[in-house]
Structure 1
Amino acid sequence: MEYQTMGSLQRVLWNGRGNTYYSNIYGCSKFTAQQVLRFAYEVACGMTHIAELGYLHRDLATRNVLVDEHFTCKISDFGLARDVSLIREYESRSQGFLPLRWMALESIKDSVYTTHSDVWSFGILMWEIVTLGCTPYPGISSMILRQQLENGYRMMRPKHCTHEVYRIMYRCWREPQAFRPSFKELCQQLEDLIFKAQNYVDLVNIDERLFKGLTRCIPGEKY
């Protein structure tokens, strides 16, 4: 596998906080809001290919996306991936650590994984990208996360993110799972936003309190 100079997308996002990359004041912005959307677009395109081959990733998150010197995203870490080309879903019997905050409700409840559950994880990954690598469900203990999701709770729209972008990630968390978009549809929706070249993510006015949100990690949870 080719060497990815910039490391994980999570690390790239963390390094982008403050005025290091995003600075309209000094006119030295390395990334734009369009580039941030392009991160999500490239991951969606990569997952389209993976889904068409009949594979489930099962651990899609910014920590498992690598970035090269051109800031192109490439999906990695297929340790939990499964070939389901001949079946529609996969039931996990693993007792290892689980990425609960990235998992779909049906995966948390019933240990069932489908392409639809990868789409849910993509919605969480989009939220990570928009918030420059914040931990999902800030302020909510993982011990009550399942109950909150079953009651219909979903993460709110970050104030610096437009409704157009938020609607894309929110649709990834819909129930029943058949109502979620496909990765191919996600690619098209994100490409349309990038083409319009509007400021869908206001990185200049991001609320830095997001970076300070702490969450509790319990045994059996993977970050």
Structure 2
Amino acid sequence: MTLMIKAVLFDLFETLITEFSDGKRLSKRDYNYQALLGLSDEEFQKEWQSRSKDRMTGRFPDYPSVIKDIIAKRELEHNDHAIQHLYQKRMEEKMLPFRNIGPEVIHLLTSLKNNKLKLGLVSNCTEEEISEWRHSELAPYFDEVIFSYEVGFAKPDPRIYELACHRLKVEPSEAIFIGDGGSQELEGAHGAGLMAYQAVWFSSFIDSKFTKLVNPSDVLSGDLFSS
């Protein structure tokens, strides 16, 4: 491996961990919004998606605050028990991917660290989605971790990549970013001056112009680390 690159930045969901197995979600997602909040699933999803940016950038500090905002805006009856029940279900759902980490991902991270590369994580996420992070096998491998809700901006905003590089003490031109391509993260990384690659080992449904990596072992190709 020719080390022209000093750091590798990774996306988290559908890159290092996945919420799916054999095309099906690990979680059953058996939320009963109608019974708990008085909203149909369709109505809830519309409200949930309309708050996506504010959720990812920390305007809502946690899941309960989002639900409370939905309740207030829809003039629904406030129910602390329902809110906490939904919060717990959501936490349980988001813990599952961290308990099913593939050995090929661990091998990849181990190899990169053995080759003296700095590792960074850049994830668009909310508080409850990464509650299991600090307990996971992945956490010890990373030199810097950027969670969007903590820093106030999300991919593809160039500032999130620039912040990661700054913390890792590398120039964007000395780093590569690897992600599944959601949220236009590859375009954002490229625009910030990093080399971007699309990880398709979990999912390939996102179309992009970027070089695709079919297996985690493809990251170890010398082509990615030389100019």
Under a length normalisation based on structure 1, what TM-score does the superposition of the two structures give?
0.25
Higher helix share: 2
Higher normalized strand content (fraction of residues): 2
> Which has the larger Rg?
2
Give the alignment's TM-score, normalised by structure 2: 0.25
